């Protein structure tokens, strides 16, 4: 596969080029190493494309997973505790996992454990590969990347998305770069408040 387009939000790409040029090179190597033709294995069961051979999100995800893990990128999970009292949640967000639970209990509330997980992290850079449903991209950008940034786990997030011309050869409901670029741009220059690189992928 190859990069068809990219967008740097809050100088995310510039940060990589200055501080993590090697990681940016690795991301490009992983993309280039994914054989798109070998991933075109899904036979459509949808009415409009019945019987047509489409790109398989499962196969593409597996190829990206192999490429990133081979270079030492790992899945990362961050656990935290929440409750229904917004004043307590605001007060404890920056505390450690153990301190969060203790503070919730001390306030008389019931602690609920939850977590955020991201696909690949290495040296404070996160990568999400998104070939799922289009709603998942907003969760990646406004929840996962932002949460890991605010929690001081990453300095920049990278989102890999199909471009429209690739999305046209996939099942319905898949996200595409051009739409999510607009979704980021119309929020303004500082939202979400995390440096990002959006990458549009083409075969």
Q: What is the pLDDT of residues 72-125, one digit of tens each?
A: 999 998 888 999 999 999 998 888 888 999 999 999 999 999 888 899 999 999
- The residues facing 53 across adjacent strands are 43
Q: Is the separation of the CB atoms in 162 and 181 below 8 Å?
A: no
**What's the N-to-C CA distance of the chain in angstroms?**
5
In the predicted model, is pLDDT for residue 190 greater than 80?
Answer: yes
Distance, CA of 21 to CA of 2 (rounded, Å)? 18
Taking residues 4-33, what's their average pLDDT? 97
Position 160 scores a pLDDT of 97
Q: Is 73 exposed, middle or buried (0-12, 13-18, 19+ CB in 10 A)?
A: buried
Specify the pTM: 0.88
* Residue 87 to residues 81, 93, 109, 181, Cα–Cα distance (Å): 14, 10, 11, 34
In the predicted model, is pLDDT for residue 68 greater than 90?
Answer: yes
Distance, CA of 65 to CA of 7 (rounded, Å)? 23
Question: Which residues, 6+ apart, have CB-to-CB distance to 45 below 8 Å?
Answer: none
Angle at which helices 21-33 and 12-19 pack, to 10 degrees? 110
Position 194 scores a pLDDT of 96
* Residue 161 to residues 1, 98, 167, Cα–Cα distance (Å): 12, 36, 9
Distance, CA of 11 to CA of 156 (rounded, Å)? 9
Q: Is the separation of the CB atoms in 139 and 157 below 8 Å?
A: no
């Amino acid at each position: 596969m190859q990069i068809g387009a990219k967008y740097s939000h809050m100088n995310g790409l510039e940060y990589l080029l200055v501080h993590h040029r090697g990681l940016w090179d690795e991301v490009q190597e992983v993309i280039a190493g994914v054989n798109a033709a070998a991933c075109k294995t899904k036979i459509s069961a949808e009415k409009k494309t019945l019987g047509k051979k489409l790109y398989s999100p499962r196969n593409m995800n597996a190829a990206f997973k192999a490429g990133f893990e081979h270079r030492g990128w790992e899945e990362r999970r961050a656990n935290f505790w929440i409750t229904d009292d917004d004043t307590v949640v605001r007060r404890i967000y920056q505390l450690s996992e153990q301190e969060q639970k203790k503070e919730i209990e001390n306030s008389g509330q019931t602690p609920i454990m939850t977590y955020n997980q991201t696909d690949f992290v290495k040296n404070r850079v996160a990568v999400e590969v998104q070939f799922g449903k289009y709603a998942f991209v907003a969760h990646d950008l406004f929840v996962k990347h932002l949460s890991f940034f605010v929690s001081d786990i990453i300095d920049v997030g990278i989102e890999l998305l199909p471009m429209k011309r690739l999305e046209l050869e996939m099942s319905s409901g898949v996200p595409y770069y051009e739409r999510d670029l607009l979704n980021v741009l119309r929020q303004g220059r500082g939202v979400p408040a995390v440096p990002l690189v959006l990458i549009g992928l083409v075969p």
